[in-house]
Amino acid sequence: MQAQIQALLAAREGGIEGAERGTTGPKMEVATPAIFNGEAGKVGGFITACRLFLRMKLRGETVEEQIQWVLSYVQGGLADVWKENVMEEMESGEVEYESAEEFLASLKKEFGGGEEESIKAAELRKLEQGGRTMEEFVQEFKQAARESGYEGRPLVEEFK
């Protein structure tokens, strides 16, 4: 009985410490992003996975530590060359990011550019409900719309 009370008190103190650090509840598991090798079609998913992990697990870390964490998942192909350049620019003081979000925007600009937007716009134009429920279709449409660059009336015209 005494051991159970001690365990509850320890858990409570851990919860209080966690609340002071900005986290609440039990430690949650968060998936890490897949390795990103520079493929334009995968940059959006990579950035989304990084944002989620940064917000849930690395919120209290410095911007530099957050960026270094993201860079640790950038490997292979053209991504290696870009990563090396970014690291050299940061170390020499040529570039300084105010936030991890600013860094992720530069990554998206470098690897997503207009090509990813064009691909997503084409996917959006082909999207149909088919055998899915309306809820499933609307969620997929919203995702495709966010990534397509479409807004306003042209976006409404694509909803079918």
Secondary structure of 48-68 as H, E, C letters: HHHHHHHHHHCCCCCHHHHHH
- Give 94-121 pLDDT, tens digit per residue: 989 999 999 999 998 888 765 656 677 7
pLDDT at residue 154 greater than cutoff 80: no
Place of tokens 């040529």: 94
pLDDT at residue 12 greater than cutoff 60: no
Strands (E), the chain: none
- Give 48-83 pLDDT, tens digit per residue: 999 999 999 999 999 999 999 999 999 998 899 999
pLDDT at residue 22 greater than cutoff 70: no
Pick the more confident residue, 110 or 150: 110
Question: What pLDDT score does 156 carry?
Answer: 59
Question: What pLDDT score does 65 carry?
Answer: 96
Share of the chain above pLDDT 70, in %: 71
DSSP code for 74: B
pTM of the model: 0.60
Pick the more confident residue, 18 or 120: 120
pLDDT at residue 16 greater than cutoff 70: no
User: Mean of the pLDDT values across residues 132-148?
Assistant: 82
Structure tokens at 92: 């020499």
How many secondary structure helices (H) and strands (E) does the chain include?
8, 0
Question: What pLDDT score does 17 carry?
Answer: 41
Pick the more confident residue, 158 or 127: 127
